[in-house]
Amino acid sequence: MAKDKYHIQVREALENDGWTITHDPLQLSYGVSKVEVDLGAEKLIGAEKSGEKIAVEVKSFMEPSKVYAFHQAFGQFMIYQMALDYNAITDRVLFLAASLDIYETFLMKQQMVEDAIEKHGLNLIIVDIETKNIVKWIKK
């Protein structure tokens, strides 16, 4: 499967934030189908605490219609969450990663995105693509 335009920058931003990339991609079975979430990562929270694990789907929203791109991204997010549930992977939180530019110019202005976060548990990682830093975590 082709990697998203910002795959490397998001991976580096996660590593810069102290995450260890454990899967690139994170492959999951879902019945007879296979799905691939772009990245799997984990981070130790403390010496005596268990590690935190995430799965990250990277999206650049390069399509002419940002609304259509969001429909696709949100659909993927929901399928990947169902695949995690199907495999009883309860210790890994799923996120959708997007650039700071897309967040500021599109995502934060859309009621459908706000509703996806509030009503359907969409989690977002917002990355500054230029500096390769995570600027915002949005988790319901």
Return the percentage of the chain with pLDDT > 90, whole number: 89
Band (pLDDT 50/70/90 cuts) for residue 83 is very high
CA-wise closest residue to 25 among 14, 11, 36, 33: 36
The residue count for the chain: 140
User: What CATH code would you report for 16-52+67-99+112-138?
Assistant: 3.40.1350.10
Torsion region of 68: left, alpha or beta (phi above 0 gives left; psi -120 to 50 gives alpha): alpha
In this prediction the pTM is 0.93
Tokens of 82: 């169902």
126 and 98 in contact (C-beta within 8 Å)? yes
Return the percentage of the chain with pLDDT > 70, whole number: 94
Q: What is the pLDDT of residues 58-76, one digit of tens each?
A: 999 999 999 999 999 999 9
The whole-number pLDDT of residue 49 equals: 46
